């Protein structure tokens, strides 16, 4: 096991009807800016519950944070906060709203051009507004970590940032808030949590059996509940709760302690989203099977372990079992209604050159757990993913 | 899954040679009281490393915290802190030193009789001195939770307490610090972590597959590394690291989120320690197999799952598989050199009446995940454990 630091002070408030807890979770002196995406938080009544719980606290609402939240939108919120003096932020939504809120929390007190936060990946964040979360979409894990991803439209960049000052003070996880989600977003959530787990697990053996088993436990649970959720005509509280908690645990830092990590699938996926606006989870479903195939030698031992423990693949030669594990992964994504080929999203093979150029422009030239996934390797992955 | 709150802000600093990190972890304005058990922290050089890392900070040392730390000893430290104005505590040791440090941290600013903290189980703690940990013994998990157990010698009471103000600010977990531990303490650590996990897992199904699998992952890891550690002639870094991280995760609150919990074995065990000074882990090894046998109907489904997933028990009738799972547990403890019968510790069956009286005196009359483990049930367990 490698050395590591683990620190995660986010207070998780989990269960049905917990939004009322905001009354004690938000400081009584808070002048609160609620941040939301579109109109669904209002329509579903969630915003009404939030406002009721805030009681007599002064509050405002910032609407319009888009999927793959943009720097441009975030800066509008920053201006509003600076002008009106909000001192507590409350993200009501999924990963996009939470990621945006993190960036905004850091940008409000930031001196100079706030884009510098992204260029330094958050390393230059010195202070941040406190913020909390009401989660409505289980997927990204942003509700219990200190990172996010922001897109800058004018230069087609989608970049990650992180700072230990950017953990939510609390996150309210109410599984019933997922009941109104469309099937597509639920499927995306399952795939997102799955690939987050895989990026921290499917590398090379590091003699970290607890981390391995925790990761496998998350993957097994997603394999169980994903299809049940997609097939259900009425939402099951327990299935939604298990998806929600699994997605949070998939990226709260725990399973990544003391082990090598990959993240190459994510970095290639970000370029696909930035250029073609494909949903984040879907880009992961496109890249991952091709990446696993490309890296089957470097990941040999963990691929065999993954096949056996997550998919129950016991028979055949090593190579056959590895192929079966990769195909099981692809089939799982497809079974959730998520295509795993670039061509299914209308992206032609002629697009690959430009994607590789973008990866290089963003410094993504030594990816993966060995730092040896070069742009040339990424090209092979994208060709195979077509 | 049940509703839950999870909050754990302790910063874990894990790996070899991390004690130097104290230089940045302890506030530079800290007037530090180091708390230790006996002389081993000095002899092994750990205290020297700690003092070197503290640099120019003013510091003192309080020595003499005993296993099953006593209220009486803790109050001596409280007096020393009040007199000399220490403002940061640093526990260097295992669960006993950490538990004592937590109680002392709460008692220093407490107004009135500090024993009231124990009578209210920590619910009346309003403030606490900040404290950190240098862990030398993997077992109790106290390094990453907010609870402890204190013994009052004059009345023969061993009671738990807990407060969200009592999380360590940081805990340094250096697996090499376990290299000098005697075999008995290592075996105790394995059993302690095992039973902590079982108390949160072996209850009844709550449709919480992630919590189940995390718990099973901890148990499987203990079953793997425990015998390797006991058999090794030279310590293995990875085995020690895996035991250390497993023991921490077994009681940091994570696997207990949203699921029923038992803790009856612990409450009976505490009485055995208070009255006969048997090591905590050994009391658990005595009580647990008998308790599982007594509760085999109430725990039927989870016992079958436990047998299959942790011990690979697949054949036989349900009753046979349950019996095999309980016997595997007993054999595992015995294989580590820990007897599982009360008689092996020189305690006669005539002692049972007094133990039951003590349980009643401490209000432990409705134990277990159903609250139906009465003193009469506890008596049957102790008779069976003899």
Query: Which residues of chain A are modeled with pLDDT < 50?
Result: none
Q: In this structure, are residues B80 and B48 in contact, taking their beta carbons and an 8 Å threshold?
A: no
- Which stretches of B169-299 are DSSP H helices? 183-201, 209-231, 237-250, 264-276, 280-294
Q: In this structure, are residues B250 and B193 in contact, taking their beta carbons and an 8 Å threshold?
A: yes
- Just give the CATH number of B183-385: 1.20.1090.10
Q: Which residue from B3, B18, B209 is facing A242, i.e. has the nearest CB? A: B209
Q: Which residue from A1, A9, A218 is facing B238, i.e. has the nearest CB? A: A1
Give me the helix-helix angle, B352-361 and B264-276, nearest 10°.
Answer: 110
- Per residue in B325-352, pLDDT tens? 999 999 999 999 999 999 999 999 999 9
Q: Which residue from A8, A221, A257 is facing B209, i.e. has the nearest CB? A: A221
Q: Give the dihedral of Cα atoms B140, B143, B148, B151; nearest 10 deg.
A: 70
- Which stretches of A7-145 are DSSP H helices? 22-25, 40-43, 46-54, 71-84, 95-107, 115-119
Q: Do A3 and B12 touch (CB under 8 A)?
A: no
Confidence class for position B262, pLDDT limits 50, 70, 90? very high
| pLDDT value at B157 more than 90 | no
Confidence class for position B181, pLDDT limits 50, 70, 90? very high
Q: How many CB atoms lie within 10 A of CB A315?
A: 7
- Per residue in B276-318, pLDDT tens? 999 999 999 999 999 999 999 999 999 999 999 999 999 999 9
Residue to substitute from B132, B144, B210, B240, interface A, most A β-carbons within 10 A: B210
Per-domain residue ranges for chain A? 11-177, 183-385
Nearest residue to B270 (alpha-carbon basis) of B261, B279, B262: B279
Comparing A158 with B180, which gets the higher pLDDT? B180
User: What percent of chain A is modeled with pLDDT above 70?
Assistant: 100
Separation CA A49–CA A42 (nearest Å): 10
Q: Do A217 and B213 touch (CB under 8 A)?
A: yes
Nearest residue to A101 (alpha-carbon basis) of A112, A116, A88, A110: A88
CA-based nearest distance B9→chain A, Å: 4
Separation CA A317–CA A325 (nearest Å): 12
Separation CA A195–CA A197 (nearest Å): 5
B6 alpha-carbon distance from chain centroid = 19
Enumerate the residues of chain A whose CB falls inside 8 A of the CB of residue B3: 14-16, 18
> In the sheet that B59-62 helps form, which strands lie side by side, from edge to edge?
A59-62, A32-35, A88-93, A131-135, A170-173, A4-14, B4-14, B170-173, B131-135, B88-93, B32-35, B59-62
User: What percent of chain B is modeled with pLDDT above 70?
Assistant: 100
Q: Do B249 and A224 touch (CB under 8 A)?
A: no
Q: Which residue from B18, B212, B217 is facing A3, i.e. has the nearest CB? A: B18
Separation CA B25–CA B19 (nearest Å): 10
Output the 3-class SS for A108-147.
Answer: CCCCCCCHHHHHCCCCCCCCCCCEEEEECCCCCCHHHCCE
- Per residue in B127-147, pLDDT tens? 999 999 999 999 999 999 999
Enumerate the residues of chain A whose CB falls inside 8 A of the CB of residue B13: 5
Predicted local confidence at residue B386, as pLDDT = 93
ipTM of this complex: 0.96
Predicted local confidence at residue A209, as pLDDT = 98
Chain B residues near any Cβ of chain A (below 8 Å): 1-16, 18, 207-210, 212-214, 216-218, 220-221, 224-225, 238, 241-242, 245-246, 249, 254, 257-258
CA-based nearest distance B323→chain A, Å: 26
Q: Do A5 and B16 touch (CB under 8 A)?
A: no
Q: Which residue from A12, A18, A249 is facing B210, i.e. has the nearest CB? A: A249
3-state secondary structure of A9: strand
CATH of region B11-177, choose from 3.40.50.1970, 3.40.50.150, 3.40.190.10, 3.30.450.20: 3.40.50.1970
Comparing alpha-carbon positions, the chain B residue that sits nearest to A1 is B238
C-alpha to C-alpha distances, B218 to A324, B307, B380, nearest whole angstrom = 28, 14, 29
Nearest residue to B94 (alpha-carbon basis) of B151, B20, B40, B163: B40
- Beta pairing class for A4-14 and B4-14: antiparallel
The phi-psi region of residue A305 (left if phi > 0; otherwise alpha if psi is between -120 and 50; otherwise beta) is alpha
Enumerate the residues of chain A whose CB falls inside 8 A of the CB of residue B201: none
C-alpha to C-alpha distances, B303 to B31, B151, B204, B262, nearest whole angstrom = 50, 33, 9, 14
Enumerate the residues of chain A whose CB falls inside 8 A of the CB of residue B254: 254
* Rounded CA Rg of chain B: 20
Comparing alpha-carbon positions, the chain B residue that sits nearest to A208 is B242
Separation CA A103–CA A248 (nearest Å): 19
Q: In this structure, are residues B262 and B195 in contact, taking their beta carbons and an 8 Å threshold?
A: no
Can you read off the two tokens belonging to residue B195? 């039973």
Comparing alpha-carbon positions, the chain B residue that sits nearest to A250 is B210
Residue pairs spanning A and B at CB distance below 8 A? 120
Residue A200 CB-half CA count within 13 A: 26
Chain A residues near any Cβ of chain B (below 8 Å): 1-16, 18, 207-210, 212-214, 216-218, 220-221, 224-225, 238, 241-242, 245-246, 249, 254, 257-258
Nearest residue to B163 (alpha-carbon basis) of B203, B213, B108, B126: B126
Length reported for chain A: 386
Predicted local confidence at residue B158, as pLDDT = 84
Q: Which residue from B18, B207, B221 is facing A213, i.e. has the nearest CB? A: B221
Predicted local confidence at residue A155, as pLDDT = 87
| pLDDT value at B232 more than 90 | yes
Output the 3-class SS for A250-285.
Answer: HCCCCCCCCCCCCCHHHHHHHHHHHHHCCCHHHHHH
- Beta pairing class for B147-152 and B157-162: antiparallel
| pLDDT value at B156 more than 90 | no
């Amino acid at each position: 096991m490698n050395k590591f630091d683990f620190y995660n002070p986010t207070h998780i408030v989990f269960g049905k009807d917990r939004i009322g807890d905001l009354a004690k979770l938000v400081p009584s002196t808070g002048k609160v800016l609620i941040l939301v995406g579109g109109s669904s938080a209002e329509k579903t009544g969630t915003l009404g519950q939030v406002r009721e719980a805030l009681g007599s606290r002064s509050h405002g609402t910032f609407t319009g944070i888009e999927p793959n939240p943009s720097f441009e939108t975030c800066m509008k919120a920053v201006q509003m906060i600076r002008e009106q003096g909000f001192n507590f932020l409350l993200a009501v939504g999924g990963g996009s709203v939470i990621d945006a809120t993190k960036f905004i929390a850091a940008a409000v007190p930031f001196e100079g051009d706030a884009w510098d936060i992204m260029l330094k990946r958050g390393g230059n964040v010195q202070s941040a507004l406190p913020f909390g979360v009401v989660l409505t979409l289980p997927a990204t894990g942003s509700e219990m970590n200190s990172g996010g991803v922001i897109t800058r439209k004018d230069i087609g960049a989608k970049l990650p940032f992180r700072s230990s000052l950017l953990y939510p003070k609390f996150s309210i996880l109410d599984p019933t808030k997922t009941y109104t989600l469309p099937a597509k977003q639920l499927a995306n959530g399952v795939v997102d949590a799955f690939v987050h787990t895989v990026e921290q697990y499917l590398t090379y053996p590091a003699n970290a059996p607890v981390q391995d088993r925790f990761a496998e436990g998350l993957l097994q649970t997603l394999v169980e509940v994903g299809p049940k959720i997609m097939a259900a005509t009425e939402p099951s509280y327990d299935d939604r709760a298990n998806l929600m908690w699994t997605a949070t645990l998939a990226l709260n830092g725990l399973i990544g302690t003391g082990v090598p990590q990959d993240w190459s699938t994510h970095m290639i996926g970000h370029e696909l989203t930035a250029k073609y606006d494909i949903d984040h989870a879907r880009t992961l479903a496109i890249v991952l099977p091709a990446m696993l195939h490309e890296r089957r030698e470097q990941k040999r031992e963990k691929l065999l372990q993954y096949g056996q423990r997550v998919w129950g693949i016991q028979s055949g030669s090593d190579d056959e079992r590895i192929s079966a594990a990769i195909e099981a992964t692809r089939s799982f994504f497809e079974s959730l209604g998520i295509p795993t080929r670039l061509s299914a999203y209308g992206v032609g093979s002629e697009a690959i050159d430009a994607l590789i150029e973008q990866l290089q422009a963003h410094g993504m030239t030594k990816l993966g757990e060995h730092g040896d996934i070069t742009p040339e390797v990424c090209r092979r992955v994208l060709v195979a993913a077509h």
